[in-house]
Chain A
Amino acid sequence: MMRRKESRAGFLFALPWLFGLVAFMFYPLLMSLYYSFCDYSALRSPVWIGTDNYSELFHDEVFWICVKNTLLYACFSLPLSMVIAIGLAMLLNTNVKGMTVYRTIFFIPSLVPMVSLAMLWLWILNGDYGVLNTALASIGIKGPNWLSDVAWTKPALILMSVWGVGNAMLIFLASLQDVPTSLLEASELDGASAWQKTRNVTLPMISPVIQFNMVMGIIGSLQVFAIPFVMFPGGIPARSTYFYAMYLYDSAFNYSRMGYASAMGWILFVVILLLTLIALKLSNKHVHYGGV
């Protein structure tokens, strides 16, 4: 009797969240699937057009430009961010005086709001008087026009993505602190070098966290939006920074093609799902769960 009462109370307390989940997640999700098969502008009722939006997308030159840009960005920014996040976490896991201060300093950048970050990088990367090019000039290197040269805009964004590694770094740091010292000590007794300890003990022990961060990274990098949207409106120059989510947004809100945008959303969802499953499948062999 008491148990049933508790269950009912629990359900009642969860009700607002359940309502939110249905109203703001499941319903829009299902409706967007329906709209992806419709001519829908958000201002008029949807009209069923079958798979027209999908077939149009596959023949849309701009769509493929965005796909290419996004994949290129993800392919470079994800491994780079992961390596830097692990590296930083390892450095911040050492026993040095004032470590909490260092940890805070390295984490703070990831708390900066995206738009502020974009404005900040507009100054750093300015080809004429930016901090980066000034620093490069001081060592005799002529920096490129990061923001206006088609060849350098994507590398600039990849460089910027490293700025936000704080969250991943923190998760890695937590997992590094969970690596049993007994294993590290045992390997030391066996004469393992620092690299051997990292390669054969630390990395396998934190592999589930690496896998988690990789999956989150895939999702995040394929949805890159806010920073290029602020820094490179319309994907300038010459659509070199026009990413998938930006085209989706433009289709929905600037071109009033909500059905088309919904189709783009679902394609992205399926691609992310597939990539995540592939990543999980490929990495499963190398992921070590301590308790298993």
Chain B
Amino acid sequence: MSKLSDLFLPGLISLSLLALVGTELRSHPKDDATRTHIAVWVGWSGFEYDTFQSVVNDYNKSQNKIFVDLLSITGNSTKTLISTSAGVPPEISLLSAAEIPQFADAGAIEVLDDACRQRGWTQDKYVPGYWDVLQYQGHTMALPATPSTVALYCNTDILKRSGYDKPPETIEEMDKMVDKITKVEDGKVKLAGFLPAEPGWWPWGWGPYFGGSLWDGKSKITMNTPENLQAMKWVESFSKRFGPAQIQSYRSGFGVFASPENAFLADKVAMEVQGVWMHNFIQKYNPKLKWVASPFPYPKDRPDMKGHTIVDQDIFVLLKNCRHREEAIDFLAYVQSQGPMEKLCLGQKKSSPLRVKSPEFWAKQDNPSIRLFDDMAYSKSCISTPKLGIWPEYSAEISNALDEVSLLQKSPEDALKAIDERIQPKLDQYLNRLEKRRTAGK
């Protein structure tokens, strides 16, 4: 009996090891053993992931040398950072374009200039707005995955009830519409024409929408400019008109984005800035909603900014020190070709970053505004995040400043000054340390 119990622990350990080996064999079936495996990590899930998995399956079937192991990961960029730091990165990771400087400055991603030359991935092949965000310090650091621009979604029923038959052209026009549409009864907001904080995903975009810039393109933070001040005052004007507490109370009744209680889908906000993907959610949660999308209004005195948009793009990066660089480039080449790219973008209900699109691509799109989103990416006033390694910190500071201004805790002037005063020394320090590292070759 005692001998049997002596065998229990070693037996358990052996069984666990066998199970591990079995799992490993299962995840790498024998027929794939001869192929080179490359790891591709993405943050997509649901139908977006399924579409990409289908593209990956096509690639895996199209040849017999490389096998792509696709993995959907929550918090992909953090996990990519950790795995890269540990020296075991995946070959390819899906990041957002705003993350390029952070990864590039740290030397964590490959410069793709040579691959671009060899494979013909040039500026002419891509829509300008989508190509520009891939460039950092004169180099191509990433390739497009699925792109998006953002526009002003309008609930046409609500607009009609207030006597409007089309979206606003200028910001001044929009303000008048907001005043007319917004309903306040007994000190409570019952309907909002527009709220800058809803959904509040691009808080840094208001300044550029008024013609402002967030940096000088080199080393200076430029938040404290007349255009950015105008934008901040515009954001503040909503709280002054309708009351910060009233807006807070109204917003607290909004449901989460992907639900029928979404403020725009539930007819609580008449106009909202959203990306091309909003169409999917309208179809899913409120297909009866009548809507139209148009470029976000421009300041009356800046007609040159007509048709401007924020470019928001998922990108593929090739991680440095990955095991199979050439194989990864081969897969990227496949995805960047017209057929697979159109399959991916169509499945995710987005436009393609490639200039050339097939007639079938357009014919199969069910988003009535898809061409608008595509056209906007050709605009000369495309807005994207500043190519700064400290952007996440800068962005958090802008969000906080907008919060303080919206709550009337700080004046727009003080809020902008505070951002400059906090972020400029951080940028100086960041650039100094980066320079020192470069000089030291670290």
Interface of A with B (CB < 8 Å)?
39, 41-45, 47, 49, 61-62, 126-129, 145, 147-150, 234-239, 250, 253-256
State in angstroms the CA–CA spacing of A41 and B106 once bound together: 8
B400 within 8 A of A: yes
Instruction: Check if A145 sits within 8 Å of B442, measured CB to CB.
Output: no
Shortest Cβ distance from residue A51 to the other chain B in the assembled complex, whole angstroms? 15
Shortest Cβ distance from residue A35 to the other chain B in the assembled complex, whole angstroms? 12
Known A-B contacts A234-B399, A237-B403, A238-B404; the reply to A43 vs B106 at CB < 8 A is yes
B-chain residues with CB within 8 Å of residue A150 when the two chains form the complex: 407, 409
Known A-B contacts A47-B436, A256-B81, A256-B102; the reply to A148 vs B399 at CB < 8 A is no
Known A-B contacts A43-B103, A150-B407, A255-B393; the reply to A145 vs B85 at CB < 8 A is no
B-chain residues with CB within 8 Å of residue A239 when the two chains form the complex: 400, 403
B339 within 8 A of A: no
Instruction: Check if A145 sits within 8 Å of B248, measured CB to CB.
Output: yes
Shortest Cβ distance from residue B400 to the other chain A in the assembled complex, whole angstroms? 6
A-chain residues with CB within 8 Å of residue B248 when the two chains form the complex: 127, 145, 148-149, 237
Instruction: Check if B437 sits within 8 Å of A47, measured CB to CB.
Output: yes
Instruction: Check if A61 sits within 8 Å of B422, measured CB to CB.
Output: yes
State in angstroms the CA–CA spacing of A234 and B250 once bound together: 21
Known A-B contacts A238-B409, A255-B390, A255-B393; the reply to A44 vs B404 at CB < 8 A is no
B82's nearest neighbour on chain A, judged by CB, is A42
Instruction: Check if A39 sits within 8 Å of B400, measured CB to CB.
Output: no
Instruction: Check if A44 sits within 8 Å of B103, measured CB to CB.
Output: no
Count: A-B pairs, CB below 8 Å: 81
Instruction: Check if A43 sits within 8 Å of B84, measured CB to CB.
Output: yes
B80's nearest neighbour on chain A, judged by CB, is A43
State in angstroms the CA–CA spacing of A234 and B106 once bound together: 24
Selected A-B contacts with CB under 8 Å, 17 pairs: A43-B81, A43-B84, A43-B103, A44-B107, A47-B440, A127-B248, A127-B253, A128-B253, A145-B248, A145-B249, A148-B248, A148-B252, A235-B400, A236-B403, A237-B248, A255-B392, A256-B81
Q: Which residues 392-424 of B sit at the A interface, judged by CB distance below 8 A? A: 392-393, 396, 399-400, 403-404, 407, 409, 422
A-chain residues with CB within 8 Å of residue B407 when the two chains form the complex: 150, 237-238
B-chain residues with CB within 8 Å of residue A62 when the two chains form the complex: 422
Instruction: Check if A39 sits within 8 Å of B433, measured CB to CB.
Output: yes
A40's nearest neighbour on chain B, judged by CB, is B85
State in angstroms the CA–CA spacing of A253 and B102 once bound together: 11
Known A-B contacts A42-B81, A44-B437, A236-B403; the reply to A148 vs B392 at CB < 8 A is no
State which of A45, A47, A147, A253 has its C-beta within 8 Å of the C-beta of B81: A253
A-chain residues with CB within 8 Å of residue B108 when the two chains form the complex: 43
Shortest Cβ distance from residue A131 to the other chain B in the assembled complex, whole angstroms? 13
Given A42-B82, A127-B248, A250-B396, 10 further pairs, Cβ under 8 A: A43-B85, A43-B106, A44-B106, A49-B433, A127-B249, A128-B253, A237-B248, A237-B407, A238-B404, A238-B409
B245 within 8 A of A: yes
B122 within 8 A of A: no
Instruction: Check if B442 sits within 8 Å of A44, measured CB to CB.
Output: yes
State in angstroms the CA–CA spacing of A44 and B321 once bound together: 13
A-chain residues with CB within 8 Å of residue B35 when the two chains form the complex: none
Shortest Cβ distance from residue A203 to the other chain B in the assembled complex, whole angstroms? 42
B-chain residues with CB within 8 Å of residue A235 when the two chains form the complex: 400
State which of B78, B389, B393, B442 has its C-beta within 8 Å of the C-beta of A253: B78
B251 within 8 A of A: yes
State in angstroms the CA–CA spacing of A126 and B403 once bound together: 19
Shortest Cβ distance from residue A263 to the other chain B in the assembled complex, whole angstroms? 14
State in angstroms the CA–CA spacing of A41 and B82 once bound together: 10
A49's nearest neighbour on chain B, judged by CB, is B433
Instruction: Check if B252 sits within 8 Å of A145, measured CB to CB.
Output: yes
B248's nearest neighbour on chain A, judged by CB, is A148
State in angstroms the CA–CA spacing of A41 and B393 once bound together: 14
B-chain residues with CB within 8 Å of residue A238 when the two chains form the complex: 400, 403-404, 407, 409
Q: Which residues 347-405 of B sit at the A interface, judged by CB distance below 8 A? A: 389-390, 392-393, 396, 399-400, 403-404
Instruction: Check if A148 sits within 8 Å of B409, measured CB to CB.
Output: no
Known A-B contacts A238-B409, A255-B392, A255-B393; the reply to A43 vs B249 at CB < 8 A is no
Instruction: Check if B392 sits within 8 Å of A254, measured CB to CB.
Output: yes
A-chain residues with CB within 8 Å of residue B81 when the two chains form the complex: 42-43, 253, 256
State in angstroms the CA–CA spacing of A118 and B318 once bound together: 36
Shortest Cβ distance from residue B236 to the other chain A in the assembled complex, whole angstroms? 14
Shortest Cβ distance from residue A227 to the other chain B in the assembled complex, whole angstroms? 17
Shortest Cβ distance from residue A137 to the other chain B in the assembled complex, whole angstroms? 13
Shortest Cβ distance from residue A59 to the other chain B in the assembled complex, whole angstroms? 9
Instruction: Check if A45 sits within 8 Å of B399, measured CB to CB.
Output: no
Instruction: Check if B245 sits within 8 Å of A145, measured CB to CB.
Output: yes
State in angstroms the CA–CA spacing of A10 and B393 once bound together: 50
State in angstroms the CA–CA spacing of A42 and B103 once bound together: 11
State in angstroms the CA–CA spacing of A147 and B442 once bound together: 45
Instruction: Check if A45 sits within 8 Å of B442, measured CB to CB.
Output: yes
A42's nearest neighbour on chain B, judged by CB, is B85
A257's nearest neighbour on chain B, judged by CB, is B393
A258's nearest neighbour on chain B, judged by CB, is B85
B-chain residues with CB within 8 Å of residue A148 when the two chains form the complex: 248-249, 251-252
State in angstroms the CA–CA spacing of A41 and B400 once bound together: 24
State in angstroms the CA–CA spacing of A234 and B200 once bound together: 13
Instruction: Check if B400 sits within 8 Å of A43, measured CB to CB.
Output: no
B409's nearest neighbour on chain A, judged by CB, is A238
State in angstroms the CA–CA spacing of A185 and B405 once bound together: 64
Q: Which of A43, A148, A150 has the most chain B CB within a 10 Å cutoff?
A: A43
The 5 closest A-B pairs by CB, nearest first: A128-B253, A43-B106, A127-B252, A42-B85, A148-B248
A-chain residues with CB within 8 Å of residue B250 when the two chains form the complex: 128
Instruction: Check if B400 sits within 8 Å of A234, measured CB to CB.
Output: yes
Q: Which of B106, B396, B433, B440 has the most chain A CB within a 10 Å cutoff?
A: B396
Shortest Cβ distance from residue B54 to the other chain A in the assembled complex, whole angstroms? 31
Instruction: Check if A43 sits within 8 Å of B393, measured CB to CB.
Output: no
B-chain residues with CB within 8 Å of residue A44 when the two chains form the complex: 106-107, 437, 442
Q: Which of A127, A150, A238 has the most chain B CB within a 10 Å cutoff?
A: A238
A255's nearest neighbour on chain B, judged by CB, is B393
A46's nearest neighbour on chain B, judged by CB, is B442
